[in-house]
């Protein structure tokens, strides 16, 4: 493959199922203490080379490391920020019928992006091992606020003034954007899923009970994203993924995008939108009408990563016919609804299921637009 320039007609959110070799090595390193960091990295490196080849073989034009080195899609990145620590407690966040492992972000000091953040090297490894376009997915700035309980925000300045916290988060992420650019990244994705959470009546009620207007939060989250990416160089594209939770094929929220659609499309400054659309929990396609005309692109996630059942191309074509009633088909593409393994546990699907889903993404793009990079 040669490196085409995004946006693409076929893409994916980023995470891939962890092979047994990596799971075993992580246990040996973290639990048994029987191997060192270099041995763990060697196993991860080999697994990442294999998932790079998988993506290239099926024809995906944007290549990630599958988040193979991470335990969580978000906490690993957040825990290496200056001023943010991860604490292990007794009970995790509730998903639908299951609880997340009990890891909790805690803001302990002034936030910043360190020059030695490990995910810079994670990106460089992918770039060095593919001829296609390397991409890295990181959690968006809203995650550091939404996922941190008020009691776990320790600096008095942030306790007294949420705007001070939002400003420092925006500045931290602006620094991260520049650091990834300097490392050669021209396609950066931020998973800012809490726009979708704030469309869920239960999550909206919970934030209201905490004394925060959910619509105000949507606006401030959009502001943070805009501030973080507004000064990016012209040859760097920013993607944003939105979903309603993804942990061993379960979810944590539901509700249509309507309350957040205007902010998502018109206030964030994002170029490419990965939007979960694989179930009724995501609501209708009407919010796509707010996508402004131009170069922005939406990749509706009509292909689920939560089950192995394979969607049909004919059915996907019908869904794009419906989507095209609200947004120009030329501003659309296709990607799965979420990652395949937002945490190291992975979804309840097989490696073969995962490959067939990625192949379907490519085949759908070819059938509708004539190619993955048209």
Q: What pLDDT, on the 0 to 100 scale, is given for residue 99?
A: 52
Q: What pLDDT, on the 0 to 100 scale, is given for residue 274?
A: 98
Which of 207, 344, 360, 184 lies closest to 278 in space, CA to CA? 360
* Low-confidence winner among 98-102, 132-136, 141-145, 184-188 (lowest mean pLDDT): 98-102
Question: Alpha-carbon distance 123 to 65, whole Å?
Answer: 8
Q: What is the pLDDT of residues 137-154, one digit of tens each?
A: 999 999 999 999 999 999
Question: Alpha-carbon distance 284 to 276, whole Å?
Answer: 11
CB 133 within 8 A of CB 236: no
- Tell me the pLDDT band of 3, cut-offs 50, 70 and 90: confident
Give yes or no for residue 272 having a pLDDT over 60: yes
The number of C-alpha atoms within 13 Å of 12 and in the hemisphere containing its C-beta is: 37
Q: What pLDDT, on the 0 to 100 scale, is given for residue 100?
A: 55
Q: What is the pLDDT of residues 10-34, one digit of tens each?
A: 999 999 999 999 999 999 999 899 9
Rounded percentage of the chain residues whose pLDDT exceeds 70? 96
The domain defined by 20-369 carries CATH number 3.30.450.80:
no
* Residue 240 to residues 75, 142, 194, 243, 342, Cα–Cα distance (Å): 17, 12, 11, 10, 15
Domain boundaries, the chain: 20-369
> Which residue did the predictor score with more confidence, 209 or 91?
209
Q: What pLDDT, on the 0 to 100 scale, is given for residue 101?
A: 64
Question: Alpha-carbon distance 142 to 288, whole Å?
Answer: 22
> What is the average per-residue pLDDT within 210-234?
97
Give yes or no for residue 356 having a pLDDT over 80: yes
Question: Alpha-carbon distance 120 to 332, whole Å?
Answer: 30
- Tell me the pLDDT band of 218, cut-offs 50, 70 and 90: very high
Question: Alpha-carbon distance 361 to 311, whole Å?
Answer: 10
CB 96 within 8 A of CB 23: no
pTM for the whole structure: 0.94
* Three-point CA angle 286, 287, 291, nearest 5°: 120
Q: What pLDDT, on the 0 to 100 scale, is given for residue 249?
A: 76
Q: What pLDDT, on the 0 to 100 scale, is given for residue 77?
A: 97
* Low-confidence winner among 99-113, 147-161, 314-328, 334-348 (lowest mean pLDDT): 99-113
Q: What is the pLDDT of residues 82-104, one digit of tens each?
A: 999 999 887 655 554 555 568 89
Give yes or no for residue 199 having a pLDDT over 80: yes
Place of tokens 């993506």: 55
Give yes or no for residue 130 having a pLDDT over 60: yes
């Amino acid at each position: 493959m040669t490196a085409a320039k995004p946006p693409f007609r076929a893409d994916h959110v980023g995470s891939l199922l962890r092979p047994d070799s990596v799971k075993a090595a992580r246990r040996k390193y973290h639990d048994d203490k029987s191997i060192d960091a270099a041995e763990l990295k060697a196993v991860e490196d080999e697994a990442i080379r294999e998932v790079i080849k998988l993506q290239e073989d099926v024809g995906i034009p944007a290549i990630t490391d599958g988040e193979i080195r991470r335990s969580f899609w978000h906490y690993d990145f957040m825990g290496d920020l200056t001023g943010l620590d991860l604490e292990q407690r007794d009970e995790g966040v509730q998903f639908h019928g299951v609880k997340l492992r009990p890891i909790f972000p805690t803001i302990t000091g002034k936030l910043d992006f360190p020059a030695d953040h490990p995910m810079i090297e994670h990106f460089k490894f992918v770039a060095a091992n593919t001829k296609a376009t390397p991409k890295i997915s990181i959690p968006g700035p809203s995650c550091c606020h939404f996922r941190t309980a008020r009691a776990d925000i320790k600096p008095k300045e942030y306790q007294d003034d949420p705007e001070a916290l939002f400003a420092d988060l925006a500045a931290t992420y602006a620094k991260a954007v520049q650091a990834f650019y300097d490392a050669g990244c021209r396609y950066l994705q931020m998973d800012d899923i809490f726009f979708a959470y704030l469309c869920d009546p239960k999550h909206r009620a919970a934030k209201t009970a905490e004394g925060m207007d959910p619509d105000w939060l949507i606006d401030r989250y959009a502001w943070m994203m805009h501030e973080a990416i507004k000064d990016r160089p012209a040859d760097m594209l920013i993607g944003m993924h939105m979903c309603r939770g993804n942990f061993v094929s379960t979810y944590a929220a539901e509700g249509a995008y309507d309350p957040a659609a205007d902010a998502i499309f018109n206030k964030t400054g994002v170029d490419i939108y990965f939007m979960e659309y694989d179930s009724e929990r995501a609501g209708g396609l009407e919010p796509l009408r707010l996508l402004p005309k131009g170069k922005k692109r939406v990749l509706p996630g009509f292909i689920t990563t939560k089950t192995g059942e394979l969607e049909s191309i004919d059915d996907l074509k019908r869904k794009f016919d419906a989507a095209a009633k609200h947004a120009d088909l030329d501003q659309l593409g296709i990607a799965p609804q979420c990652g395949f393994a937002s945490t190291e546990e992975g979804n309840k699907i097989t490696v073969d299921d995962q490959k067939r889903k990625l192949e379907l993404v490519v085949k759908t793009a070819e059938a509708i637009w004539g190619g993955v990079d048209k």
